[in-house]
Amino acid sequence: MYGLKQAPRAWYSKIESYFAQEKFQKCHHEHTLFIKEDGNKNVLIVSLYVDDLIFTGSNEVMFEEFKTSMKRKFSMTDLGKMRYFLGVEVKQFDDGIFICQQKYAKELLLRFKMDQCNKVCSPMVHGNKLIRDENGKLVDATNYRQMTGCLMYLLAT
């Protein structure tokens, strides 16, 4: 299925029908979010990102039943508590969950060869006047767009 044009749709249809069979409700506003309630005010929330699932809830028994059911139906690897997801580091403690993107930011600096750049507190020096460099080298537009997109993702998550 991987690599085919229709693979993402086929996978989503398969996982969506699984969630329906397991009595999950699909969120009306976010179609990759599925919620299951057991009638005792226990809830299990599953978020789907391509072929990765993250889930949380209020009941350990529901967690285990869900994992067992998923392993029966799909080839699945349980990675345990989430530590890293989509560029976000996750640290779980008894008193809360803490997230940061330091690792992702450092990876971006390496990717765009800026890991040795000068550190500054703000993106622009106060009072600095910009002038056009008529003899300057043209910027690689593709690289610029990639860098801008990565920075937008970093700021938005």
Site of tokens 């506003």: 29
Band the pLDDT of 144: cuts 50, 70, 90: very high
Model confidence, pTM: 0.69
Q: Is residue 120 pLDDT above 90, yes or no?
A: no
Q: Is residue 2 pLDDT above 70, yes or no?
A: no
Dist. CA 79–CA 119, nearest whole Å: 35
HSE value, Cβ hemisphere, 13 Å, CA-based, for 149: 6
> Would you kindly state where each structural domain of the chain is located, as residue ranges?
7-80, 101-156
Task: Please give the average per-residue pLDDT across 84-111, as a whole number.
Answer: 91
Dist. CA 39–CA 31, nearest whole Å: 23
Task: Please give the average per-residue pLDDT across 46-68, as a whole number.
Answer: 90
- The predicted structure's pLDDT at residue 1: 59
Q: What's the DSSP call for residue 104?
A: H
Token representation of residue 52: 């990765």
Give which of 42, 70, 46 is closest to 56, Cα–Cα.
Answer: 46
- The predicted structure's pLDDT at residue 17: 94
Task: Please give the average per-residue pLDDT across 20-48, as a whole number.
Answer: 94
